[in-house]
Amino acid sequence: MNPLQQLAQSFRQPGLELFAACAGKSQGQIKAMGIPAKNAGEIFRAAQAFNTPTRSRDRQRQAIQSARDNGLTWVELVEIDKYARKLKDEAKAWRLRLKLCRVSGGLAAIRKAAQGLLKTLKPKPKPEPEVKMEQPQDGLWKLSVRADSSMLAAIATKLAKAKDKVAAFAEILEQGAPQPTLYTHVVITAEDIQAIEADQGEDVLLRMTDGAVITGAELARRKLAEMGFVTIVSNFGGPVNTYRLQRSASGKQRLAASVVNTTCVVDTCNKPAEQCEMHHMQAWSEGGETNLSNLVPLCPFHNGRNDDNPHRPNHGRVERVKGKARWVPAWSQGVVF
Ligand SMILES: [Zn+2]
């Protein structure tokens, strides 16, 4: 065997056998045997993980079994361990080691799988409020602001309605942020009012129809005139019907419908009601009434996807399920997500 073949063979050493040989040895001892410091550290840490009892006993045992079945080399196991160490949560780290020990296809396949899995296992850091300014040479600068929804909601509503958003933003810079529109509603239930009155308003979160969320205490501090209207909704009373008078939802019905649903009714969609269209759950052409029980806010995207004809399912449609308007995907066979 020539020196190159010897070197190649050393990289192919089965990882578990190497780790077994490391048992009881310190990092310094491994290094003292002539292994470069960086490798000695990585091997020592990976060997410790696989040799030392852990609370994730089952996953550790299965990972070891998979590494053996899969014939993983020490290079591959060290790489797996390096990815697992990016997770502070021990249980999650072992979940990752186990999954990666089952990957076949060598180092490249392990790395690819690890990057995908880490995205799902690593908790996303909570974003902090910030203002960012990019100033490239071309003269088109970029300003981005991350701030409390109640600070930005009125601006968002104004920009959403504007055709030329940059011009609308320039107007905001000149004239100051717009006051919340007059028809912005805040939804309060009877119990929440009691909590606010009892000075426990900090715990009560109220959602407004422009998408902002404020606490009950904040509401008590603000002047109602600046807020627009406050609507009190009983937990038990359903929406009141006002019967068909016209095709388009009247301002009052629009208001009331957005009080019942402050955002697009699709569960995963947060588009504020003020930026939504009033959707007839039972289509006007199918005899649907323009009344409260038939109207829900739906953002332009989801309104576009809604199947108006229930007999020709394509994407899905909004229906009332157990009293609540919900998006029912096409072909769901009664399963509601
Ligand atoms: Zn939507």
Q: Give me ligand 1 centre to Cα 322, in Å.
A: 21
234 pLDDT band, cuts 50/70/90, is very low
**Tokens coding 67:** 């590494």
Q: Distance from the CA of 275 to the center of ligand 1, in angstroms?
A: 10
Q: Residue 207's domain spans which residues? A: 185-233
**Type of residue at 8:** A
Residues 46 and 101 grouped into a single domain: yes
Q: In Å, what is the CA distance from 237 to each residue of 6, 151, 234, 312, 317?
A: 81, 32, 5, 34, 25
Region of 261 please: left (phi>0), alpha (psi -120 to 50) or beta.
beta
Q: What is the mean pLDDT of residues 289-297?
A: 77
Max mean pLDDT among 134-143, 187-196, 235-244, 318-327 falls in 134-143
Residue 238 has pLDDT above 60, yes or no: no
Which of 278, 272, 213, 284 has the alpha carbon at shortest distance from 247? 284
| Local structure of residue 337 (DSSP, 8 states) | -
Return all residues near 192 (Cβ < 8 A) that are at least 6 apart: 204, 206, 216
pTM (global) more than 0.75? no
Q: 3-state DSSP call for residue 317?
A: strand
**Alpha carbon of 298 to ligand 1 centroid (Å):** 6
Ligand 1 being an ion, which residues bring their Cβ within 5 A of it? 264, 266, 269, 271, 299, 302
CA distance 156 to 250: 23
User: Has residue 195 been placed in a domain?
Assistant: yes
Looking at residue 75, its pLDDT comes to 96
For residue 143, tell me if it sits in a domain.
Answer: no
What distance in angstroms lies between residue 306's CA and the mean position of ligand 1's atoms? 10
CA 69 – ligand 1 centroid, Å:
48
314 CA from centroid of ligand 1 (Å): 17
Span 170-209, pLDDT tens digits: 998 888 876 654 445 666 666 676 666 666 666 677 777 6
**Considering the domain boundaries, does residue 152 fall inside one?**
no
**In this predicted structure, what is the pLDDT of residue 336?**
42
Q: What's the pLDDT tens digit per position in 76-87?
A: 999 999 999 999
CB atoms within 10 A of CB 321: 12
- Segment 104-126 shows an average pLDDT of 90
Is residue 169, in this structure, part of any structural domain at all? no
For residues 25-38, average pLDDT: 93
* Residues in the chain, overall count: 337
Amino acid 153: pLDDT:
81
Instruction: Tell how far the Cα of 278 is from the centroid of ligand 1, in angstroms.
Output: 12
| pLDDT in the model for residue 274 | 81
Amino acid, single-letter form, for residue 19: F
DSSP secondary structure string for all residues of 166-195? HHHHHHHHHH-SPPPPTT-EEEEEHHHHHH
Q: Compute the distance from residue 268 Cα to the ligand 1 centre, in Å.
A: 8
Would you state the pLDDT for residue 258? 72
Do 228 and 257 share a domain, yes or no?
A: no
Looking at 204, 233, 262, the residue that finishes a domain is 233
Judge whether 105 lies within some domain. yes
**Residues 97, 14 share a domain:** yes
Number of folded domains in the chain? 3
**Residue 204 counted as domain residue:** yes
Does the residue 209 lie in any domain?
yes
Q: Residue 267 Cα, ligand 1 centroid: separation in angstroms?
A: 8
Most confident stretch, 66-75, 146-155, 216-225, 262-271: 66-75
For ligand 1, the distance from its centroid to the CA atom of residue 301, given in whole angstroms, is 6
pLDDT in tens, 150-178: 778 878 888 888 899 999 999 988 888 76
- Point out the domain boundary residue: 67, 101, 121: 121
Q: Which residues of 5-15 are buried (b: 16+ CB within 10 A; e: fewer)?
A: eeeeeeeeebb
Residue 309 Cα to ligand 1 middle (Å): 19
- List the single range of 99-108, 136-145, 147-156 with lowest mean pLDDT: 147-156
Report in angstroms the alpha-carbon separations of 249 from 239, 241, 244.
15, 12, 9
In whole angstroms, how far apart are CA 114 and each of 61, 88, 207, 315, 326? 20, 15, 39, 34, 37
How far does the centroid of ligand 1 lie from the alpha carbon of residue 119, in Å?
A: 26
Distance 202 CA to ligand 1 centre (A): 29
CA of residue 305 to ligand 1 center, whole Å: 10
Collapse the DSSP code of 314 into the 3-class scheme (helix H, G, I; strand E, B; otherwise coil) and give the result: coil
Higher pLDDT, 47 or 259: 47
How many Å apart are CA 130 and CA 173, to the nearest integer?
A: 18
Give residue 52 CA to ligand 1 midpoint distance, Å: 50
Q: What is the mean pLDDT of the chain?
A: 81
Is 149 part of any domain? no
Higher-scoring residue by pLDDT: 178, 139: 139
User: What distance in Å separates the CA atoms of residue 193 and residue 315, rounded to the nearest whole number?
Assistant: 40
Among residues 233, 262, 289, the one where a domain terminates is 233
Q: What type of residue sits at position 130? A: E
Nearest partner of 239 among 294, 319, 293, judged by Cα: 293
How many A from CA of 127 to the centre of ligand 1? Answer: 23
Which residues, listed in sequence order, are joined to residue 133 by a DSSP beta bridge? 143
Give the distance (Å) from ligand 1 centre to CA of residue 280: 15
